Amino acid sequence: MNKDRMKGIIDEVAGAAKRRTGELTDNPKLQVEGRVQQIKGKAEGAWGKAKEAAKNAVNNTEVRLDAHATVGLKDSSLDAGRRNCK
């Protein structure tokens, strides 16, 4: 788990507590602040998951280079002309 996911979890929990406190004290401003913090936490968590997925994809990728090249002439008339010169 990376720091973005941890930060997201903390913000989600803190936001939920703040929102609930706002509900219990009938404080709409605190409710909104808590909900905003929860949404921020969800976004941070999603960002952290995406970063981990990208890192895992890179770490689990095997790069193979197979260099096989065939060199030939595109124009067969040139090839035919060379054969006739011999």
pTM for this model (two decimals): 0.64
- Provide the pLDDT for residue 58: 81
Tens digit of pLDDT for each residue in 6-35? 999 999 999 999 999 999 999 999 999 999
Q: Which residue has the tokens 């890179």?
A: 58
Tens digit of pLDDT for each residue in 31-73? 999 999 999 999 999 999 999 988 888 887 766 666 666 666 6
Answer whether 11's CB lies under 8 Å from 41's CB: yes
Answer whether 14's CB lies under 8 Å from 55's CB: no
Answer whether 4's CB lies under 8 Å from 48's CB: yes
Instruction: Tell me the percentage of the chain whose pLDDT exceeds 70.
Output: 71
- Provide the pLDDT for residue 64: 66
Alpha helices in the chain (DSSP H): 3-24, 28-59, 76-85
CA 32, chain centre distance (Å): 29
The amino acid occupying position 56 is N
